[in-house]
Amino acid sequence: MSKTSAQIYVLYTGGTIGMDGRPLAPMPASRLQRLLETMPGFDSSTLTLHPLDDRELRINYVLDAFDEPIDSSAMTPNDWVMIARRILDRYADYDGFVVLHGTDTMAWTTSALAFLLEGLAKPVIVTGSQVPLAQTRTDALRNLVTAMQLAATSGVPEVGLFFDVALYRGCRAAKVSTSAFEGFASPNYPPLATAGITIDVSESLVRLPPPIESSMQRPEHRARVAARLEAIEQALPRFSVLSLVLYPGIQTSNAIEVLLDATEPPVRGLVLQAFGEGNAPSTPSFLEALRRAHDRGVVIVDGTQVVQGSVNVDAYQSASGLEQAGAISGYDMTPEAAQAKLVYLLGLGLSQQEVEVLMQRNLRGELRAESGPTRGLVFAEH
């Protein structure tokens, strides 16, 4: 029997996977570690797997944790930066990374990490569960073990979200069920891998590794990413990014003005979850409110609340009105990806015009746009 081994870093942030009690609450990392050691194949530092190809896979792991594990509904952009920094600081020492996270905001975190970890060349797999690991009938063990195997062996140079049987691109995933084990989906992009008896990676769907000059394999580039994380962390208290779901009968001009005037810190980004292909009420007062917001420096993204499909600002007059008011197309980005991307770009200190250009470019596989993909984009001046 042949043997292979890998080193991975597991970060426990909280979430259902590590909860117990009534009502459910996060358990401390020390208790999660002891629980893991009772699971098949685990000891205090190693997961041993025996795939069907007659080889032993030995995954050496380190379990780290937030000082206080949290429910993901309490996750903030500052926590996104903290997770990214934990990975960056340990990047050279491990073959892959696993983040244990609650399901409620997992799609926001995976989207944010995809942007924050610019030049990623190793797998970062985020997972969780619908049922705690401490319970007998749970999806947690399968999700955790498969995520660890993907981090150790897949070589996928992306942030991925693994759940049930599928590895999704992190900035394409969305939560679709509160009760089914298949709790996530990727409406506008196929899974990067599927896990049955074997794990099959769809290589043609995976992004290429970054060019060496902008790869996190290089210490110089990791230093640049660290500086950007620091800049973003310092910028976060100075701006807000909002999301507004449109609905029939909404008093749209009032809603826009109240949101902008009442929110502190000042609003710099607004994601509209519009109807259909990006349509919205064409009332003059609504469009004028958006125009005034845009003139104040707010980046307005015309997105869709429809689960599958893309914005098409040329299809209906009600969408073209948004464009004339200053809104840009969100194409087929999920609302989670659009909001996380806005936070990332605004946190870099870019101008309104720069953010609007980059929001419409494919930076991490988060959208399909006519402008085509932008690989290895480096913000050398920020």
**Residue range 42-54, pLDDT digits in tens:** 999 999 998 766 6
Which of 50-54, 84-88, 350-354 comes out lowest in average pLDDT?
Answer: 50-54
Q: What is the CATH number that goes with domain 2-223?
A: 3.40.50.1170
- Residues with a catalytic annotation lie at 16
Mean pLDDT of 118-146: 98
* Phi and psi, residue 320, nearest 5°: -65, -30
| pLDDT (0 to 100) of residue 380 | 36
Angle at 108 between CA 106 and CA 109, to 5 degrees: 65
On the CB side of 32, how many CA atoms lie within 13 Å of its CA?
A: 29
**Residue range 147-192, pLDDT digits in tens:** 999 999 999 999 999 999 999 999 999 999 999 999 999 999 999 9
| pLDDT (0 to 100) of residue 169 | 98
| pLDDT (0 to 100) of residue 377 | 43
| pLDDT (0 to 100) of residue 241 | 98
Q: Read off the DSSP letter of residue 74.
A: G
In angstroms, what CA-CA distances link 378 with 224, 320, 353? Answer: 10, 32, 17
CB 14 within 8 A of CB 70: yes
Q: What distance in Å separates the CA atoms of residue 94 and residue 319, rounded to the nearest whole number?
A: 47
Q: Does 367 have pLDDT greater than 60? A: yes
Q: What distance in Å separates the CA atoms of residue 121 and residue 140, rounded to the nearest whole number?
A: 27
Mean pLDDT of 27-40: 96
- CATH 3.40.50.1170 positions along the chain are 2-223
Q: Does 249 have pLDDT greater than 70? A: yes
| pLDDT (0 to 100) of residue 3 | 61
| pLDDT (0 to 100) of residue 141 | 98
| pLDDT (0 to 100) of residue 334 | 97
CB 86 within 8 A of CB 99: no
Instruction: Give the confidence band of 119 by pLDDT, cuts at 50, 70, 90.
Output: very high
| pLDDT (0 to 100) of residue 45 | 97
CB 285 within 8 A of CB 257: no
CB 46 within 8 A of CB 55: no
Instruction: Give the confidence band of 319 by pLDDT, cuts at 50, 70, 90.
Output: low
Cis peptide before 187 (omega within 30 of 0): no
CB 44 within 8 A of CB 37: yes
User: Mean pLDDT across the chain, nearest whole number?
Assistant: 92
Q: Does 133 have pLDDT greater than 90? A: yes
Q: Does 283 have pLDDT greater than 90? A: no
Q: What distance in Å separates the CA atoms of residue 237 and residue 89, rounded to the nearest whole number?
A: 23
Instruction: Give the confidence band of 13 by pLDDT, cuts at 50, 70, 90.
Output: very high
| pLDDT (0 to 100) of residue 258 | 86
* CATH 3.40.1190.10 applies to domain 239-359: no
For helices 77-89 and 219-235, angle between their N-to-C axes, nearest 10 degrees:
160
**Residue range 89-104, pLDDT digits in tens:** 999 999 999 999 999 9
| pLDDT (0 to 100) of residue 4 | 84
Closest CA to 125 of 102, 157, 172: 157
Q: Does 302 have pLDDT greater than 60? A: yes
- CATH 3.40.50.40 positions along the chain are 239-359
